[in-house]
Amino acid sequence: MKQLHFQEKYPITVLDIKKSETQFVSADQIADYFKDCIEETPRVSYIATFDHLAHSREIEGDVAPDIQAAVNVVFCFGRALPNPYVLAVRPRSIGIADMGDHFVVSFMDAPQKPANDAMRAWALALRNQ
């Protein structure tokens, strides 16, 4: 798992996991796993699963040739609305890309440590024990 700045300004966490290192065989299975994690976590709300690859193809957008599937699981940790600006960083999303022999799981870091800790734990649990 690594942390980086996408486009030099967005702090993201990325997990690259070989298919041989996980029980999951598809991006959809991983999305279902994350949905279960979200639904089992108090005060976290599942919103949707978005097929980003289908969307990009439908609008004739550019897609890297090695991306075989790409989905986002959308959800919200929001426990408070202290000001209107917090809406800019909500809801959260975890992206899952099937790259053929491995998956890339990524998410933008949240302003709250408990949210980041949960997303990291969920992602790391994808690896076989």
- Taking a C-beta distance cutoff of 8 angstroms, is the pair 102, 17 a contact? yes
Q: Is 51 a residue whose pLDDT tops 70?
A: yes
pTM of the model: 0.94
Task: Kindly write down the DSSP assignment for every residue of 39-89, as one continuous string.
Answer: HHSTT-EEEEEEEHHHHHHHTT----TT--EEEEEEEE-----SSGGGGGG
Q: So what's the pLDDT on residue 39?
A: 97
Q: How confident is the model at residue 125 (pLDDT cuts 50, 70, 90)?
A: very high
To the nearest whole percent, how much of the chain has pLDDT over 70?
99
Q: List the CATH number of the domain containing 16.
A: 3.30.310
Is 59 a domain residue?
Answer: yes
Residue 39 or 112, more confident:
39
Three-state secondary-structure class, residue 6: strand
The answer on pLDDT for 89 being more than 90 is no
Q: What is the pLDDT of residue 129?
A: 67
Measured distance CA(32)–CA(71) in Å, rounded: 11
Q: How many domains does the chain have?
A: 1
Q: Is residue 129 part of a domain?
A: no
